[in-house]
């Protein structure tokens, strides 16, 4: 397995956010983490990214333990996160944001070519490359956050709530771009409240409830599971 999370425990003071979760992401997969607000989805991603230190448990990437590594080192290894709420650098231009995405790279000569690739994938960003990121629409900021993450040339992309706050038409567009990124060779671990959309593009999925994995399996099976339909798909 490319990425493995094993018996992970995380607490915020007295609150136990993760209670021994296990999950795996294989090379080339889209794996979805679904669950209600406060289930521990974002905490899982932030712990994999090195932004949160777990109390116990291990995270391995390509067989190498990364549990105690600092975030910048984890990015250099090939794991990059698109954070919830986009978090673009609002006072920087679109182009400067993309350059920031390549901050840890040593091959500066190839950065320009990769910026062009991002502009091909997101033509709207190309049109607005000199514009301040804070003046973009929510959908454009989401595209910029994704483009910025791709600038680190990740092997694994951790995506946190990419559809949050977006109009339904834009949600469709963002999800088809996620599929394209995956088909071009990037493995994706996707946290998403829109369980319907997440399960429609994922290979496998895990259902989190109050810090524990309660169900897992092929995404299609979970989409047809009556419990999942009732709790998360509004059916």
Q: Indicate if the pLDDT at residue 162 is higher than 80.
A: yes
Average pLDDT over residues 160-172: 87
Q: What is the pLDDT of residue 167?
A: 84
Q: What is the pLDDT of residue 164?
A: 86
Separation of alpha carbons 119 and 115, rounded Å: 6
Q: What is the pLDDT of residue 166?
A: 84
Contact yes or no for 153/78 (Cβ under 8 A):
yes
pTM listed for this prediction:
0.90
Question: How many domains in the chain?
Answer: 1
Average pLDDT, the chain: 92
pLDDT tens for residues 88-146? 998 999 999 999 888 877 787 788 889 999 999 899 899 999 999 999 988 899 899 98
Return contacts of 136-142, CB within 8 angstroms, 24+ apart: 136/88, 136/94, 138/86, 138/165, 138/166, 138/170, 139/166, 139/167, 139/170, 139/173, 139/174, 141/86, 141/88, 142/86, 142/166, 142/170, 142/174
Contact yes or no for 24/204 (Cβ under 8 A):
no
pLDDT tens for residues 13-64? 889 999 999 999 999 999 999 998 889 999 999 999 999 999 999 999 999 9
The neighbouring-strand residues paired with 80 are 157
Residue 11 is part of a domain; what is its CATH number? 3.40.50.300
- Host domain of residue 62: 3-232
Percent of the chain with pLDDT over 90: 69
Separation of alpha carbons 71 and 144, rounded Å: 20
Average pLDDT over residues 190-216: 94
């Amino acid at each position: 397995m490319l990425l493995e999370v094993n018996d992970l425990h995380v607490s915020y003071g007295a609150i136990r956010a993760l209670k021994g979760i296990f999950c795996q992401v294989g090379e080339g997969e889209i794996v979805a983490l679904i669950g209600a607000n406060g289930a521990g989805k974002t905490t899982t991603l932030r712990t994999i990214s090195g932004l949160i230190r777990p109390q116990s448990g291990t995270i391995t990437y390509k067989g190498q333990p990364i549990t105690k590594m600092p975030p910048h080192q984890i990015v250099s290894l090939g794991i990059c996160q698109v954070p919830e709420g986009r978090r673009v650098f609002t006072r920087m231009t679109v182009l400067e944001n993309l350059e920031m995405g390549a901050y840890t790279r040593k091959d500066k000569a190839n950065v320009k070519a990769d910026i062009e690739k991002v502009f091909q994938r997101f033509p709207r960003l190309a049109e607005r490359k000199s514009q301040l990121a804070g003046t973009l629409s929510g959908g454009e900021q989401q595209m910029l956050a994704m483009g910025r993450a791709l600038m680190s040339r990740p092997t694994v992309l951790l995506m946190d709530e990419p559809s949050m706050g977006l109009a339904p038409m834009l949600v469709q567009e963002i999800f088809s771009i996620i599929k394209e990124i995956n088909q071009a060779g990037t493995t994706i671990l996707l946290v998403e409240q829109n369980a319907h959309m997440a399960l429609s593009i994922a290979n496998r999925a895990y259902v989190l409830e109050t810090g524990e994995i309660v169900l897992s399996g092929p995404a299609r099976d979970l989409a047809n599971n009556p419990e999942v339909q009732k709790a998360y798909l509004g059916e």
